[in-house]
Amino acid sequence: MRFDFVNGEMLLIDKPLEWTSFDVVNHLRGFLRKVYDLKKLKVGHAGTLDPLATGLLIICTGKFTKKIDEYQGMDKSYVGSMHFGATTPSYDKETGIDREFDVSDISEEDILGAAKGFVGEIDQIPPIYSAVKVDGKRAFDYARNNKELKLKPRKVTISNFDIINIDLPSINFAIDCSKGTYIRSLARDFGEVLGKGAFLTELRRTRIGELKVSDAYSLEGFKKAVLDRLA
């Protein structure tokens, strides 16, 4: 059975490290237009992943792009790591460390207790290094031009926040959350609650709704599947 990208397909892609979500969209659009000799093809994604994150990215083509809002509204799951005891302006490794803290007085019980405080509905301020739009521009455009910007808090829901392993300064975690949740902001807030600072070092999205990254194509795997079906 062949794909029908014009009438619409929903694709599960495992986004590679250091690619933006838009890089994936543009790459696949160019590939599909070339392979199928199309002048135009609608391609979009449902739920941005940061360049330093990997994992499940939903790609919609053709008429299925109308379903993007539906997919974006689904709950999501992530696994990741944070560096405890330091902060960065971007709340991840995109920017360098600007503050460091002594974490020798923090216990495992302190860390586990802090995590419990984030479960439920919380107010969260998005990172200034993010794609949030302010007056028609992306927040990261202000940040990269050293312009001050205050973003408003948003209500998000954390249904599960498990600390998987503690090997300071590294903390590994798993989280289930609502749409619009910034895991980088969660790492920052987690550090602030303990008075020590934290930033995100790794992030992988494993689930969107009932869709799982284990069922996703790599980029090369997807392109091979398309070519195999045309053979």
**Amino acid of residue 78:** Y
Q: pLDDT of the chain along its 231 residues, tens only?
A: 789 999 999 999 999 999 999 999 999 999 999 999 999 999 999 989 999 999 999 999 999 999 999 999 999 999 999 999 999 999 999 999 999 999 999 999 999 999 999 999 999 988 776 556 655 555 555 555 565 656 678 899 999 999 999 999 999 999 999 999 999 999 999 999 999 999 999 999 999 999 999 999 999 999 999 999 987
Position 66 scores a pLDDT of: 95
Instruction: Kindly calculate the radius of gyration of the chain based on its CA atoms and give it in whole angstroms.
Output: 19
pLDDT of residue 82: 98
Q: Given 50, 92, 176, 189, which residue is catalytic?
A: 50
Please give the pLDDT value at position 81: 98
The end-to-end CA distance of the chain, in Å, is 11
| pLDDT score, position 145 | 55
Closest among 8, 146, 133, 139 to 70, alpha carbons compared: 8
Residue 132's pLDDT is 60
Q: Which pLDDT belongs to residue 55?
A: 98
pLDDT value of residue 147: 58
Q: How far apart are CA 185 and CA 183, in angstroms?
A: 5
Q: 158 CB contacts (<8 Å, ≥6 apart)?
A: 118, 119, 120, 122, 175, 176, 177, 178, 181, 186
* 228 noted as active-site residue: no
Is the bond leading into 169 cis (omega within 30 degrees of zero)? yes
pTM score, two decimals?
A: 0.91
Buried b (16+ CB within 10 A) or exposed e, 49-75: bbbbbbbbbbbbbbebbeebeebbebb
* Domains (range + CATH), the chain: 10-73+212-230 (3.30.2350.10), 76-208 (3.30.2350.10)
Tell me which H or E stretch contains 55. strand 53-61
pLDDT at 2: 81
pLDDT at 117: 96
